[in-house]
A and B are shown apart, each in its own frame.
Chain A
Amino acid sequence: MKILVTVKEVAEPADDFEIEGTDVGEQFLEYDLNEWDDYAVEAAVQLSEAYDDVEVVSATIGPERAEETIRMALAKGVDRSIRVWDDDVAAAELDVAAKTRLFAAVVDEEEPDLVLSGVQAADDGFGATGVSLADEIGFDWAAVVNDLQTEDDLETAHVHRELEGGIEELTDVDLPAVLTIQTGLNEPRYASLRGIRQAQSKEIAEFGLDDLGLDADAVASPISRTAMYEPETESDATYFDGSPEEQAERLADVLRDKGVVSE
C-alpha cells in the first residue's frame, strides 16, 4: 500500500509584524510544518508501522526553502518526498483548483491507495484542497477526521468526523480515499536524532509542471488577493499597564467588582 501525505510549509507572522503590499513583510514571517499536516504525517507513519509493505510519500507545493519542513516529515518516518515547483508555479497565485490540478498530477504519477491531508493550512485557511482533490481523482473522502481505524483488508476506513458542538459523526469510507485530518487524531512524534540523520539521505524529488505533464494554464487562477490589512478592532478594551504586580492588582479588582471572586 502507498500513502500520499500532503505537507505544507506555512508562514506565521511574528508578534510585531508589518504588512507590505498584500502580504506580511517577508522579514516578519517564520515558517513551519502546518499543524494539521503534522497529524496527517503521524497517521500515515502509524499505518506504515501497523501494516507490512506500506510506503509513505509526502507531496509539497513549495519553494526550495520548504525542504527544511519536508526534512522534518522525513525525519518523522516519511519514506520519500515530492516537491512541486518551478518558475510558473512560483509566479502564480495558487487557488484551490490550481492546487487540485497539481496534486492530481502527482496522484497520477504515484497511484496511492490513501491520501492524507490536513483539514486546513494555518496561513490561508482555505480548508478545501483535500476534498477537491478527492473529487478530481475519483477517490472517496471524509473531511475533518479525528479518529481513524482500519481493518486488515484495508478496504474500508472507519472514521469519526468531528462536527460542531462536541458531536462526532461515525462514517465508513471505502478506500482508496482522501481523508482530511483534524488535530487531536493522534500524538505527533518528535523527530528523533536518528530520524533527523536518516532524513538527510532520503529522496526529495523535484517536479516542475513539465514533469507532471502540465503547462502554465494549470496554475492560472481567477482569484487574486487585492489587499491585506489589520482588522479594525471593535474592541474598546481597557488595558492594564505597569509591572506584572500592578497589572495583577488591577485585574484582581475587576474580578472582585464583577463578583466572581469573593474576598
Chain B
Amino acid sequence: MSDVLAVADHRRGELRDVSLEIVRAGRELADDLGGDLHVAVIAGDVDAFAGRLSLEGVDAIHTVDAGEEFNHDLYAGATTALYEELAPTAVLMPNSVNGLDYAPAVANRLDLPLVSDAVGLSYDGGLEATREMYGSKVETTVELTEEPFAVTVRGGEWAAVEADADVPVEAFVYDFDESASGARVQGFEEVGAGDVDIAEAEFLVSIGRGIEEEENLELIEELVEATGATLSSSRPIVDNGWLPKNRQVGQSGKQVTPDVYLAIGISGAVQHVAGMKGAETIIAINTDPNAPIFDIADYGVVGDLFDVVPALTEQFS
C-alpha cells in the first residue's frame, strides 16, 4: 500500500509530454504517501518507451506488450489488472484526450473515487487536489475522504522529469484480443492543412467568441490587412464554420509561437492557452477584467473590441 501507479501516454511511436510530467506528479504524491512510484506503459514499442521512462524518482516500470496503439479496452483492462496486482493507493492517468477515453472506466471498474483534471495534488492524511472551474475563472480545492483513489492530471502543470535513472523494467502480461473490443481504431487523419500555416506567423491577430457574429469578422480582417498580421482564432469561430480549421489555435488546433499574439475577445480557456502560451508577447483585448487570458498576458486592454479594434486599425491606416 501507499504506492502510486502512473500510466504513460504515447501516440504513433512517441511518448507524449504528459508522460514525463505525470512522473513528477506521481513522485511527489508517492513521497507524501511514503510509497513507491510505479509507471505503466501500455501498447506499442513498450521497450523503447520504458527506456525513455527510466527516470529519476521512478521505482519500477511495467510494460504491457499488447496492441500497437491506444485502445481504451486495452488501457482500461491492463490498468485495472496492474492495479489489482500492485494494490496502490493512487492511480494517476493523464487528462489527455485518451485519458478522457479510459480513466473514467478504470475508476468505475475499481470503484475508486475520481478527481479529474487536477492541476495540483497533495496528501496529508487525505488527498487534497486543486482543480479549476467555470472556464479557469476560479480555482477550487477538493478533499477526498476515501482511499484508494484515481486522479487524472492536466498536462503542462508539472515540470517534466528529465534526469535518467536505471529503473527495473518488468513485463506485465495482459491478454488482449483487439478484434473482440467494441471499439476498433481504423487509423488516423491529420486535419487542418491549408493555405496558411499560422505556426509560421510572427504576428497573429486571433479572434474569439467575443466577435459575436460572422459579419463582424470584417472588423478583424481590416486590422489584419492594415497591420500585415496573420489571422487565427479560438475554437468556437472554427466550430461555427467562420474560419477554416487550420486557423484554430489550441490543444486540438495548432501550437503557435509568434513574436506577438493579439488575443481579441478570447477568454483564455486552458485548451486555448495550451496552443499559444509560447508566444513571446501576449496582448489581450477583453471586456472582462477577470478573463483568464489576462493572467498570461504581457499587455492588457480591458475594453470593448468593437471600440478598440477600429481605433487600432485607424492607427495604421
Bound CA span A172–B178, Å: 12
For residue B87, CB closer than 8 A to chain A, the reply is no
Nearest 4 A-B pairs (CB), nearest first? A140-B182, A248-B311, A222-B146, A252-B315
Please determine whether B290 and A223 come into contact, CB atoms closer than 8 angstroms: no
For residue B203, CB closer than 8 A to chain A, the reply is yes
Bound CA span A258–B228, Å: 14
Q: Count the A-B residue pairs with Cβ separation under 8 angstroms: how many?
A: 277
The stretch of B42-50, B98-106, B214-222 that contacts the partner chain: B98-106
Please determine whether B295 and A131 come into contact, CB atoms closer than 8 angstroms: no
Number of interface residues of A (CB under 8 A): 87
Please determine whether A261 and B316 come into contact, CB atoms closer than 8 angstroms: yes
The stretch of B59-67, B163-171, B234-242 that contacts the partner chain: B234-242
* Residues of chain A having any CB pair with chain B under 8 Å: 11-13, 15-17, 19, 22, 24, 95-97, 100, 119, 122-132, 134-136, 140-144, 158, 160-174, 177, 180, 183-184, 187, 221-231, 233-235, 237-240, 244-245, 247-249, 251-252, 254-255, 258-263
**Shortest distance in angstroms between A142's beta carbon and chain B's nearest beta carbon?**
6
Please determine whether B189 and A131 come into contact, CB atoms closer than 8 angstroms: no
The stretch of B22-30, B31-39, B111-119 that contacts the partner chain: B111-119
Please determine whether B183 and A173 come into contact, CB atoms closer than 8 angstroms: yes
Chain B residues positioned under 8 Å from A259 (CB to CB): 259
- Chain B residues 276 to 305 lying within 8 A of chain A, measured CB to CB, are 280-281, 283-284, 287-290, 292, 294-304
Please determine whether A144 and B97 come into contact, CB atoms closer than 8 angstroms: yes
Please determine whether B239 and A183 come into contact, CB atoms closer than 8 angstroms: yes
The answer, among A142, A235, A252, A260, for a CB contact under 8 Å with B101, is A142
Please determine whether A237 and B142 come into contact, CB atoms closer than 8 angstroms: no
The answer, among B100, B144, B240, for a CB contact under 8 Å with A127, is B100
Given contacts A167-B190, A235-B295, 4 further A-B contacts (CB under 8 A): A170-B186, A184-B235, A223-B115, A235-B297
